[in-house]
């Protein structure tokens, strides 16, 4: 059940992140809208992932690396099923260009690390104190 809950939380975080990414195009501040969207997502993923981890750990327990892997894989699958075909391909992009972009993998790593750090500082440390 924890893995199903992790997938659901990952989906919620993906919806939030995708919303920030898409909304950034509505307010052009930089000359490069793709760079702007990546920067907005890189900043927005921190509180979104932290909130998702907080929601998950209220009722479930997995190690931080396991939860991080599940939520990141959930985001990658949702990107492959929704983001790329409906947002990237119509703009002339490809699956290859989307998934080979360094910004994509940097944000995925950041996402994973935020979840692992939440687990390390909020969950693991509180378990150690209670023993």
pLDDT digits 0-9 by tens, 35-81: 999 999 999 999 999 999 999 999 988 999 999 999 999 999 999 99
CA distance 29 to 46: 21
- 3-class state of residue 21 by DSSP: helix
**In the predicted model, what is the mean pLDDT of residues 14-39?**
96
> Burial level of 93, CB count in 10 A (0-12/13-18/19+)?
middle
| pLDDT attached to residue 131 | 64
pTM (2 decimals)?
A: 0.92
**Given this model, what pLDDT does residue 113 score?**
98
- Domain borders along the chain are 2-125
Structure tokens at 90: 């119509």
């Amino acid at each position: 059940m924890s893995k199903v809950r992790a997938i659901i939380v990952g989906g919620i975080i993906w919806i939030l992140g995708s919303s920030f990414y898409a909304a950034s195009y509505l307010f052009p501040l930089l000359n490069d809208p793709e760079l702007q969207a990546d920067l907005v997502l890189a900043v927005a993923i921190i509180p979104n992932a932290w909130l998702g981890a907080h929601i998950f750990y209220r009722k479930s327990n997995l190690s931080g690396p396991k939860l991080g892997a599940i939520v990141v894989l959930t985001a990658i699958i949702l990107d492959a099923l929704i983001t790329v075909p409906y947002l990237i391909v119509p703009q002339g992009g490809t699956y290859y260009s989307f998934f080979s972009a360094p910004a994509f993998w940097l944000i995925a790593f950041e996402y994973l690390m935020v979840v692992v750090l939440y687990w390390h500082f909020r969950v693991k440390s509180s378990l150690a104190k209670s023993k």
